[in-house]
């Protein structure tokens, strides 16, 4: 596995070894031992999530103020621009974001540790996103950071008005959001 650092030290792009020929391809989307060696941590994934979205959808920026989730995100079909925002108050990168394109061709994955808000924009006509989480979904602790907060300044590179859920439309700006004290 190739590990690519991002501008935020704890968020990593992971490129698995892909074996392909005229029949198609094969790769290990997750191997606990390889992940631990590559990333240097020993996560305990407890939940797998799968979403389907159409082009122009923006999902997020979501996080859980208690039971925070680390996420390993990949795309099974289509293409997204995946984003993580550091919400760890004591971090040198607090309030900063990092993003990368994940798609079914590059097979890249984004490791987002606990303490970050996560979201993505769908760039292809459709996309199926799969991600592993290190804690269970806890709706009473879920929070939404405003996807277009100018204080964060995410460059989503959108060419149309995004399709947003009501929850995502009501996200809070960073200045009003609950954040993590670790």
Which of 72, 56, 76, 166 is CA-nearest to residue 122? 56
Query: Taking the alpha carbons of 49, 52, 55, 59 in that order, is the dihedral positive or negative?
Result: negative
Q: Considering all CA atoms of the chain, what is the largest pairwise distance in Å, rounded to the nearest integer? A: 53
Note if 62 is an active site residue. Answer: yes
The length of the chain is: 182
* Marked catalytic residue, from 62, 67, 105, 137: 62
Q: Is 136 considered catalytic here?
A: no
Q: How far apart are CA 178 and CA 164, in angstroms?
A: 21
Please report the beta strands in 55-181, taking only residues with DSSP state E, as ranges in sequence order: 58-64, 71-77, 79-86, 97-103, 109-112, 116-122, 126-133, 142-144
DSSP bridge pairs for 58: 121
- Active-site hit among 118, 131, 137, 141: 131
**Are the C-beta atoms of 57 and 121 separated by less than 8 Å?**
yes
- Alpha carbon distance 6, 99 (integer Å): 9
Residues identified as active-site: 62, 131
């Amino acid at each position: 596995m190739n590990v690519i650092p991002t501008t935020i030290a704890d968020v990593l792009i992971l490129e698995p070894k892909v074996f392909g020929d005229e029949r198609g391809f094969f790769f290990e989307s997750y191997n606990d031992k390889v992940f631990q060696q590559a990333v240097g941590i020993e996560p305990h994934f407890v939940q797998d999530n799968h979403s389907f979205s159409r082009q122009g959808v923006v999902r997020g920026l979501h996080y859980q103020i208690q039971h925070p989730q680390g996420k390993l995100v990949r795309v099974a079909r289509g293409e997204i621009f995946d984003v993580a925002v550091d919400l760890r108050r004591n971090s040198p990168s607090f309030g900063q974001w990092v993003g990368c394109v994940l798609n079914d061709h590059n097979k890249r994955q984004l490791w987002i540790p606990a303490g970050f808000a996560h979201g993505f924009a769908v760039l292809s006509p459709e996309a199926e996103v799969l991600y592993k989480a290190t804690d269970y979904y806890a709706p009473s602790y879920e929070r939404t950071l405003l996807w277009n907060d100018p204080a964060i300044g995410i460059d989503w590179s959108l060419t149309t008005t995004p399709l947003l859920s009501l929850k995502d439309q009501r996200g809070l700006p960073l200045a009003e959001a609950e954040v993590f004290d670790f």
